[in-house]
Structure 1
Amino acid sequence: MGIREEPADAWLPDEDVLACMHAFGAPEKDINAVRARIEAQREALRGELNGADFPVWAENWDVVMAFQDVQTQWVRSSFSGQRMGLNYAGVNAWLDRFIRRTRRKNMFAGLQLMERAVLVADQELADKERR
């Protein structure tokens, strides 16, 4: 097993980066470049949804994108393959790597909310199939 090197352009700025740039007096051209990169990221991620458009409030966007990133952390029943919940150790490792400490508690709460919604939807589908 080797070490995986991240691509040079893997840096994903967010609104916090813009706030820091403003606070430290970064040149406007640099701020605009980062703002353009954030918007490009959002457009690329929207394209990944395969045309399944749905409204997301701006204040929830980061949680929705984080939820997309932690989709590999589902724990499944060994018998049925049904989702049981997220592997919180893996989710917390992701949060530690990508989310500022001051935002982790709220981000985790948002991820738990989405986790519960998925589990409820899974149960509704299972109930519908049994009928």
Structure 2
Amino acid sequence: MHHGTAGKKLIAAALHDLGGGSKSVDPKTIEDLRRADAPPEIIADYERRAKQQNDFIVHPDNWDAVRLFISCRTQWRRGGFNGAKVGLDYVAVQVVAEARNIKMTEDTFSGLQIMEAETLRLINERN
């Protein structure tokens, strides 16, 4: 499957996210904490973690897809006897997109699928 330059950058973002795991801090999370009047020490902890994480530059055209993918970390469907990840739950993805105010365009959805496919490929390679 040929993805072009944008696809390669999305694959790199999926790889970065897979390596970053729960240590990655989405800037939107900090904004959400502020809006929710979270305690200052919690906001400060998230800001500290955000500064410490490795930066990964995302092309502006890919930002919505990357943000949606990261926000959907807990929305994987599992199957088989071992409960392996088989793909994202697209109904849940739509709910997350609406909650995060991310417009689900064809490009955003395609980018999400590129990142999903790369993540599944890597998980299957490891097993």
TM class, shorter-length: 0.5 to 0.7
User: Structure 1: how far apart are the matches of 2:91 and 2:81?
Assistant: 22
Query: AA paired with 1:120?
Result: R
Secondary structure (helix, strand or coil) at the match of 1:72 reads: coil
For residue 93 of structure 2, what is the aligned residue in structure 1? Answer: 91
Does residue 108 of structure 1 match 2:103? no
Q: TM-score, normalised by structure 1?
A: 0.51
User: Structure 1: how far apart are the matches of 2:121 and 2:97?
Assistant: 24
Query: Whose RCO is larger (CA < 8 A, sep 6+)?
Result: 2
For residue 47 of structure 1, what is the aligned residue in structure 2? Answer: 50
Residues 73-99 of structure 1: CA distance to partner in whole angstroms, max 9, x if unpaired? 101125212110000111122223422
Does residue 9 of structure 1 match 2:35? yes
Residues 12-40 of structure 1: CA distance to partner in whole angstroms, max 9, x if unpaired? xxxxxxxxxxxxxxxxxxxxxxxxxxxxx
How far the C-alpha of 1:105 sits from its partner, in A, is 2.4
Of 47, 72, 75, 1:73 maps to 75
Aligned length: 85
User: Structure 1: how far apart are the matches of 2:97 and 2:108?
Assistant: 8
User: Structure 1: how far apart are the matches of 2:95 and 2:73?
Assistant: 13
How far the C-alpha of 1:55 sits from its partner, in A, is 4.1
Instruction: Give the share of equivalent positions with the same residue, in percent.
Output: 35
How far the C-alpha of 1:62 sits from its partner, in A, is 2.5
Moved more, 115-124 or 59-68: 59-68
Larger radius of gyration: 1
User: Structure 2: how far apart are the matches of 1:63 and 1:121?
Assistant: 19
Residues 25-75 of structure 1: CA distance to partner in whole angstroms, max 9, x if unpaired? xxxxxxxxxxxxxxxxxxx5x828x63444433322232121110111101
